Structures are given as C-alpha cells and as structure tokens.
C-alpha cells in the first residue's frame, strides 16, 4: 500500500485499519518522514523511514509483535 494511491488515500485506509483492527500494530515504512507528523496517524502507528537497511524495520516488527 502507498499513502498516495490513484483513486484512493492510504491515510484513510490506515485510519480504517486502526478502527477495525484495534489490536493489530501498524508499521508505516515511508520515504516521507513528514508523515510521522500527520495528526491522523499519530495514534497507534509506528514509523520507519524507508531504507535498504532493514534493521530499524525488523526492530519495530519485533517490538510490536508480541
């Protein structure tokens, strides 16, 4: 999923996921770190800056999976 999709809005989809599946962690990997400041996403969403180094992403997954 991308935040900016043709005909759809990834931000709205993330909000719907958070409402419908409150216990499932959402980790957003983005090349646009400013999205971490988006008020719609501040609650219950972890952010990882998109990178070829997956260390931070793996760490967030491990931290939020159990």
pLDDT at residue 33, rounded to an integer: 73
Evaluate whether 65 touches 25 at the Cβ level (below 8 Å). yes
Question: And the tokens for 19?
Answer: 């409402």
pLDDT at residue 46, rounded to an integer: 81
For 9: left if phi > 0, alpha if psi spans -120 to 50, otherwise beta; the answer is: beta
pTM (2 decimals)? Answer: 0.66
3: DSSP letter: S
Question: And the tokens for 41?
Answer: 């996403």
Q: Tens-digit pLDDT profile for the chain (66 aa)?
A: 666 667 767 778 888 888 898 888 888 887 877 776 776 666 677 888 888 999 999 998 898 887
């Amino acid at each position: 999923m991308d935040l900016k999709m043709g005909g759809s809005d990834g931000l709205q989809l993330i909000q719907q996921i958070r409402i419908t599946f409150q216990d499932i962690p959402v980790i957003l990997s983005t090349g646009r770190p400013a999205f971490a400041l988006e008020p719609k996403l501040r609650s219950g969403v972890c952010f990882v800056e998109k990178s070829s180094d997956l260390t931070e992403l793996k760490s967030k997954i491990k931290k939020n999976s159990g």
